[in-house]
Structure 1
Amino acid sequence: MTAIEEFFAMEDKELEFRHNSEIIMNRMEEIEGIAGNPIDKAIRWLKRKAYESRIPAVDTGIDFLSLCVLEAILRYFDRKVEAHYEGKENIFKDKPVIFAANHETEAEHLYLARACCELRDLDYFMFFQKFNFKSISNKKDVPIFFAKYQLFNYPLIGTILSSTAFPIERELHDSKSMDIGTKFLRRGSNVIIYPEGTRNVKKQKKAKTGVVRLAIDNKVPIIPIGHHGLFDLTGGGFSPKKKGIWYCSFGEPIYYNEYYDKELEYEDLRRLTGDLMARIDQLKENGIRRIEEIKDQQFEDSLQNSVNEIVVDKFERLKKKPKNPIDTLYRKYVKYTSRIPILGDYLDAFTHSLIRFSTDLLMNPLNFDIKIKGKENLDQYKEAIIASNHESFFDIFLYGLKLVPDPMIKYWGYLVPGEKHDVTTKTWFMMKKELAELPIISSWTLSAGGFPVARGERDIRALEIAKALVMKGRRVVMFPQQTTYKNIDVNSGKTGAVRMAIETKRPIIPMAIKGSYNAMQRGVLQVLFPPKHLPIHLNIGEPI
């Protein structure tokens, strides 16, 4: 009878007092200086006294509270981390197993502990409904992972982690940790190990052979895990900094039956470890691919939302989006009011009219002599691609706020929809993402009709958003030259506008602006103080 069979043959009475926490406490006390603060010492003393007095409920209750704290942390993180799993059916329910995973951040300890529990989603608050205290006490349903001993030096953190982890000394080639792993496996607990021994994001490091040796010595299979996404969300730290996806893939169990009870050479262990790491790498690559597929699908689904929701989502995905209260609240205001039927349209129209009014004060006749020629060509189509040259920052004032139907120029169109416009009609335009990253300016451009594009980065999603706006009955301004030029260079234009016109089956309306470059050369502060009477001409051509 193997040790594992003996474990399952134990009487419940005997099991009740074979508390795995004692193993972890003993290990913590063996490592010099670890968790030496008074708080952790007091808790360990209480747990040991409870164990010696054969009162396992006290010891287990502390573990239970520790697990609840970990779950509370995960619940907080879940606001930003969208977890996806694949292959969880490969997890055993009736015998111990070793989970071998890649290691990218500190946060994955908690997420892997949740993912590797086959009976639940590590919903710690539901322990009383799904498990008894003995199950928690023996940690048969809570996977144990190897963690560097430095994590246990933080007050209370060491005690909380000891509910599902035990410390190892990586620098000293800690062979005793393998002995402790053996104890857990023989008592029926699952173990999580990082074969690389430390965090690694890019190229795989040379993995240790201990995980394979542990599996063969204890005659248990290894389930490889490849996951991806947490490093991008946390920046390598513990807490996620932004919203995103974490994908965790479980491979099929790897058995080493042919190596049981045999003496293995180091070369054999190295070969088997290399095969294991290759499998983990494949699963990680699968996660990378699946994350992109999920993002693409989410983006496709988001294009079915309202126009404002689509554009706000683009602002929210900026890495350096303004996080001050004004811009944050305004983005939420635009997003949620757009979901309100009818009233939401008029709220959006009211905001746009205020932005236009402020711009009319700046772009007044004393400062600028603005002449628009060919506007009748624009009025023929409610939905079209406008292709224009780009001379300066002032262009967005003109495109976003002057190229609206005449009733809206006179403001009464914001209250009364017409045959060729509704109250939310405005001309949308692409702009460099740097403008959307400026405080206050970000909200202004959002209301004016701008949405960010990452120039030079093949921002496919910006083009998809532009396409969605056109298909939803809006006009979109695109700058084929992508940046400001004093003169038009016919050889510098990109093909995006033409491609979009063909794909959406909508016309292109060519437009040229002249004079804003000269105005910008004067300097913004000088231009805004009258009188200047700077000429700016917009020539709108016939649709193509």
Structure 2
Amino acid sequence: MFYWFLKWVALGPLLRAVFRPRVEGAQHVPAEGPAILASNHLSYADWLFMPLTLPRRVTFVAKAEYFTGTGIKGWLQKTFFSGSGQVPIDRSGADAAAGALLSAKRVLADGGLFGIYPEGTRSHDGKLYRGKTGVARLALETKVPVIPVAVVGTDVVAPPGKKFGSFTRPVVRFGKPLDFSRYDGMENDRYILRSITDEIMYEIMRLSGQEYVDMYATRAKEESKRVEKERVEKEAAAAADAKKAS
């Protein structure tokens, strides 16, 4: 109930009035029944704008720590994340990835919409990175359609590494549902999981217009940090040499 207050009475009207997000292809999202919404991930604002364009609740998984805090701060944090459509990762005897899968299955079994970012983390440079196969496993094990989603412009509103950016009208595009029933019973075949994931990422790329990089986003971030560190060290060394020469 708090979710609807947050979305339609408090936060929703404010975001719509200020940013006027545009939506395309909303008819591809079923009015009822389970579906997986697989989206690109440009900004922490993605999980606000994408659900805002739909009349149905979209559930994401979040760190369990957000739901276990104590005191007033803990209560406010738990209320906000619960109310905004997020559920804690179920880590009962499982790691984070398996725990997220368990939580997702519960949402879909109840007929809900589950939002997932196949890249696993935000893109640091606006490019679309290789998807992790958890989304494919989830689709096969639950026999639920996958709807590719592209959120565009949120990295302008809230750029990576910053709390605020500049104004733009975000666009949310929903693609046609992808049916993978032809792969029933093959959820343990890693080649099939990779093929399904790549098909999903291709559709997201087509909707978003992003440049695709066949590398995991986490590795790309590490490589970017390494290159930046080397650049800074070289500049510092050059400056020191110039100072000695003078």
The TM-score, its normalising length taken from structure 2, stands at 0.72
1:310-348 Cα deviation digits (max 9, x unpaired)? xxxxxxxxxxxxxxxxxxxxxxxxxxxxxxxxxxxxxxx
1:460-512 Cα deviation digits (max 9, x unpaired)? xxxxxxxxxxxxxxxxxxxxxxxxxxxxxxxxxxxxxxxxxxxxxxxxxxxxx
Report the 3-state secondary structure (helix = DSSP H, G, I; strand = E; otherwise coil) of the residue aligned with 2:32.
coil
How far apart are residue 244 of structure 1 and its match?
Answer: 1.3
How far apart are residue 183 of structure 1 and its match?
Answer: 1.5
Report the 3-state secondary structure (helix = DSSP H, G, I; strand = E; otherwise coil) of the residue aligned with 1:249.
strand
Alignment of 1:245-324 (within 5 A): 245-285=169-209
How far apart are residue 91 of structure 1 and its match?
Answer: 0.9
1:273-297 Cα deviation digits (max 9, x unpaired)? 01111110111118xxxxxxxxxxx
Query: Runs of 5+ in structure 2 lacking a partner?
Result: 211-246
Structure 2 distance, partners of 1:271, 1:90, is 23
Residue identity matched to 2:22: H
Structure 2 distance, partners of 1:253, 1:266, is 22
Equivalent residue number for residue 218 of structure 2: none
Equivalent residue in structure 1 for 2:113, among 178, 190, 193: 190
Equivalent residue in structure 1 for 2:98, among 157, 175, 198: 175
How far apart are residue 114 of structure 1 and its match?
Answer: 1.9
Structure 2 distance, partners of 1:191, 1:215, is 11
Asked if 1:162 is matched to 2:162, the reply is no
How far apart are residue 169 of structure 1 and its match?
Answer: 8.5
Asked if 1:147 is matched to 2:84, the reply is no
How far apart are residue 258 of structure 1 and its match?
Answer: 0.9
How far apart are residue 147 of structure 1 and its match?
Answer: 2.7
Considering only aligned residues, what root-mean-square deviation do their CA atoms show, in Å?
2.5
Residue identity matched to 1:252: K
Equivalent residue number for residue 221 of structure 2: none
Equivalent residue number for residue 6 of structure 2: 69
How far apart are residue 67 of structure 1 and its match?
Answer: 3.6
Equivalent residue number for residue 114 of structure 1: 52
Equivalent residue number for residue 156 of structure 2: 232
Asked if 1:89 is matched to 2:32, the reply is no
C-alpha contact (below 8 Å) 2:90/2:99 kept by paired residues = no
Classify 1:66/1:188 alpha carbon distance in 2 versus 1 (closer, same or farther; 3 Å): closer
Classify 1:165/1:222 alpha carbon distance in 2 versus 1 (closer, same or farther; 3 Å): same
How far apart are residue 158 of structure 1 and its match?
Answer: 2.4
Structure with bigger gyration radius: 1
C-alpha contact (below 8 Å) 1:99/1:224 kept by paired residues = yes
Classify 1:173/1:206 alpha carbon distance in 2 versus 1 (closer, same or farther; 3 Å): farther
Classify 1:223/1:281 alpha carbon distance in 2 versus 1 (closer, same or farther; 3 Å): same
Classify 1:263/1:88 alpha carbon distance in 2 versus 1 (closer, same or farther; 3 Å): closer
1:196-220 Cα deviation digits (max 9, x unpaired)? 1111142333321111111111111
How far apart are residue 178 of structure 1 and its match?
Answer: 0.7
Alignment of 1:472-491 (within 5 A): none
How far apart are residue 237 of structure 1 and its match?
Answer: 6.5
Structure 2 distance, partners of 1:149, 1:113, is 21
Residue identity matched to 1:269: L
Classify 1:265/1:276 alpha carbon distance in 2 versus 1 (closer, same or farther; 3 Å): same
Structure 2 distance, partners of 1:227, 1:277, is 13
How far apart are residue 240 of structure 1 and its match?
Answer: 5.0
Classify 1:210/1:220 alpha carbon distance in 2 versus 1 (closer, same or farther; 3 Å): same
Equivalent residue number for residue 100 of structure 1: 38
Classify 1:106/1:278 alpha carbon distance in 2 versus 1 (closer, same or farther; 3 Å): same
C-alpha contact (below 8 Å) 2:38/2:148 kept by paired residues = yes
Equivalent residue number for residue 134 of structure 2: 210
Q: Percent identity?
A: 28
Structure 2 distance, partners of 1:247, 1:97, is 21
How far apart are residue 236 of structure 1 and its match?
Answer: 3.1
How far apart are residue 151 of structure 1 and its match?
Answer: 4.9
Report the 3-state secondary structure (helix = DSSP H, G, I; strand = E; otherwise coil) of the residue aligned with 1:161.
helix
How far apart are residue 222 of structure 1 and its match?
Answer: 0.1
Alignment of 1:53-64 (within 5 A): 64=1
Alignment of 1:4-19 (within 5 A): none
Structure 1 distance, partners of 2:135, 2:158, is 27
How far apart are residue 142 of structure 1 and its match?
Answer: 1.6
Residue identity matched to 2:6: V
Query: Runs of 5+ in structure 1 lacking a partner?
Result: 1-63, 121-140, 287-544
How far apart are residue 189 of structure 1 and its match?
Answer: 0.8
